[in-house]
Amino acid sequence: MLVYVNGRFVPKEEATVSVFDHGYLYGDGVFEGIRAYNGRVFKLDEHITRLYESAHAILLQIPLSPEEMAAAVVETCRRNQLSEAYIRVVVSRGPGDLGIDPRKCPRPTVVIIADRLALYPAELYEQGMRVMTVATRRTSPAALNPRVKSLNYLNNILARLEANLAGFAEVVLLNDEGYVAECTGDNIFIVRHGRLLTPPPHLGILQGITRDTVMELARRRGIPVEEAVFTRHDLYVAEECFITGTAAEVCPVVEVDGRKVGDGRPGPITRQLMADFREYARTHGTPIWDEPAQQAADLTPRTRAGGTTTAPRRAPA
């Protein structure tokens, strides 16, 4: 496997960052998780836009243009011969000193990893998963807005620890007012009286790209979609429930806190949207190999301290 590190493609064993990097020391940075399906990078422009918005929110200047970053993502897939992949783009504040002052970090670190990933077992997509609500509350937007996809995921990890201890594949976090927010790495939807409901961003959720795609696919089916505030009670009495995420895609939920959702099986709207999403994801996206000469013109050798590197100049069409 080759990993993109600050403009160079290196074997994963050599893909290292400084122990003084503020991403390592303080979780000071941003990231994106992106999928490639059938030789196409799914929703690449949307992921790149969110990455740069997150960086702007924390005053982090990414040393590549959005077009260069998009081209680097595609080239990382090419270098690893991956048509189906999970891609992680990480931009940290970079090396500094042991203090927290970001001004001591003059050069951000950029890492892109492309590998294979299967988050949940296949049977959960057929039979549905059990979830529970946890004591850990979602970080308040007033403290650290979850719409910034930062490297600080301790809130999510604390909830994941509760999931592991209780034997659940996923759990639901409430916000500090007791309303349903999201899961440890996924957004959540319910079906009530034929309407598809999902929590609004102001409750303290990451506005997921898979979430937004599913909402659009539902509207195309004529299914009413709303961003709405709801509670655990609404989860308990919902006709259907499912979660969405870049890694998880669309996965049905059939039990919440020991209560069956609907008849305890994935519902018809959930199954339809699962099928619609899989078809859409496999037929839309930025081509990895379909461009002439594999977009050779996008990669021009440049010399930096430490050797010659290949840096992308523009994104594939």
**Residue 141's domain is classified under what CATH number?**
3.20.10.10
How many CB atoms are located within 10 Å of the residue 65 CB?
Answer: 15
126 and 104, same domain (yes or no): no
pLDDT value at position 124?
92
The answer to whether position 68 is within a domain reads yes
Catalytic-role residue among 12, 43, 149, 260 = 149
Quick: pLDDT tens for 174-210. 999 999 999 999 999 999 999 999 999 999 899 999 9
Give how far Cα 312 sits from Cα of 63, 80, 157, Å.
Answer: 12, 16, 34
13 and 130, same domain (yes or no): no
181 and 89, same domain (yes or no): no
The answer to whether position 280 is within a domain reads no
129 and 243, same domain (yes or no): yes
Quick: pLDDT tens for 32-69. 999 999 999 999 999 999 999 999 999 999 999 999 99
14 and 75, same domain (yes or no): yes
The answer to whether position 155 is within a domain reads yes
Print the domain residue range for 52: 2-117+286-306
135 and 193, same domain (yes or no): yes
The answer to whether position 37 is within a domain reads yes
The answer to whether position 67 is within a domain reads yes
Q: Which of 244, 238, 252, 186 is nearest to 213 (CA)?
A: 244
The answer to whether position 312 is within a domain reads no
Whether the predicted pLDDT of 291 surpasses 90? no
183 and 159, same domain (yes or no): yes
CATH, residue 101: 3.30.470.10
Task: For residues 281 and 283, give the distance between their C-alpha atoms in angstroms, rounded to a whole number.
Answer: 6
254 and 127, same domain (yes or no): yes
Rounded to the nearest 5 percent, the helix, strand and coil shares of the chain are 30, 30, 40
**Dihedral pair phi/psi, residue 55, rounded to 5°:** -65, -40
In the chain, how many domains are there?
2
133 and 107, same domain (yes or no): no
Query: Side chain identity at 139, as an amino acid letter?
Result: T
Quick: pLDDT tens for 257-281. 999 999 999 999 999 999 999 999 9
pLDDT value at position 296?
38
The answer to whether position 100 is within a domain reads yes
**Dihedral pair phi/psi, residue 250, rounded to 5°:** -125, 120
pLDDT value at position 281?
96
Taking the model in full, what pTM does it have?
0.89
196 and 251, same domain (yes or no): yes
Please indicate whether residue 12 is annotated as part of the active site.
Answer: no
Quick: pLDDT tens for 105-163. 999 999 999 999 877 888 999 999 999 999 999 999 999 998 999 999 999 999 999 99
The answer to whether position 141 is within a domain reads yes
Confidence of residue 290 (pLDDT cuts 50, 70, 90): low
Place of tokens 């620890």: 161
Query: Side chain identity at 4, as an amino acid letter?
Result: Y
202 and 224, same domain (yes or no): yes
Confidence of residue 251 (pLDDT cuts 50, 70, 90): very high
251 and 302, same domain (yes or no): no
